[in-house]
Amino acid sequence: MRAEKISHVGIAVQDLDKAIEDYRSILEIDHVEKHEVPSEGVKVAMLRIGESELELLSPVGEQGSIAKFISSRGEGIHHIAVKVADVSKAIEEAKARGFKVVDERPRTGAGGTLAAFVHPKSLHGVLLEFYSR
Ligand code: ZN
């Protein structure tokens, strides 16, 4: 499935409010949207940059994937998300082509968005997210 644009770049951070402050001040960003995904142990802030966004991800507790990422690799770029017209179809097509996927079917995120991840082992070390927005 054709990727329509870079939707966002996900960055794992330890302290969400400090990271928001730093990225806002250096990039002069006005629009910030915060939400929490308790089931995944993560707090999120989306910072709008034109047509794309930065997604700052910080851990809640020590069990979530972001907590594990930071404890093994430190803060930094976590994933790249591309917008596709149909997330279910994109992940099915990726599987059919032999890519290793993290999600067999899309998960639902904030505001009813859909997301599904392709494993970094299949993509030269980068975790790729198919995203509906
Ligand atoms: Zn993302």
More confident residue, 53 or 62: 53
Ion ligand 1 residues within 5 Å by Cβ: 10, 55, 81, 129
Cα(96) to centroid(ligand 1), Å? 23
CA of 79 to the centre of ligand 1 (A): 7
Instruction: For residue 130, report the distance from its CA to the centre of ligand 1, in Å.
Output: 8
Q: Tell whether the model's pLDDT for residue 10 goes beyond 80.
A: yes
pLDDT at 37: 86
Specify whether the CB–CB gap between 79 and 123 falls below 8 A.
no
pLDDT digits (tens, 9 = 90+) for 14-31: 999 999 999 999 999 989
- Ligand 1 centre distance from Cα of residue 21 (Å): 20
Residue 10 C-alpha to ligand 1 middle, in angstroms? 5
104 Cα–ligand 1 center, Å: 17
What mean pLDDT value characterizes the chain? 95
pLDDT of residue 110: 76
Distance in Å, CA 112 to ligand 1 centroid: 14
Ligand 1 mean position, distance from CA 55 (Å): 6
pLDDT in tens, 78-102: 999 999 999 999 999 999 999 999 9
User: By the 8 A CB rule, do 94 and 115 touch?
Assistant: no
Residue 78: per-residue pLDDT:
98
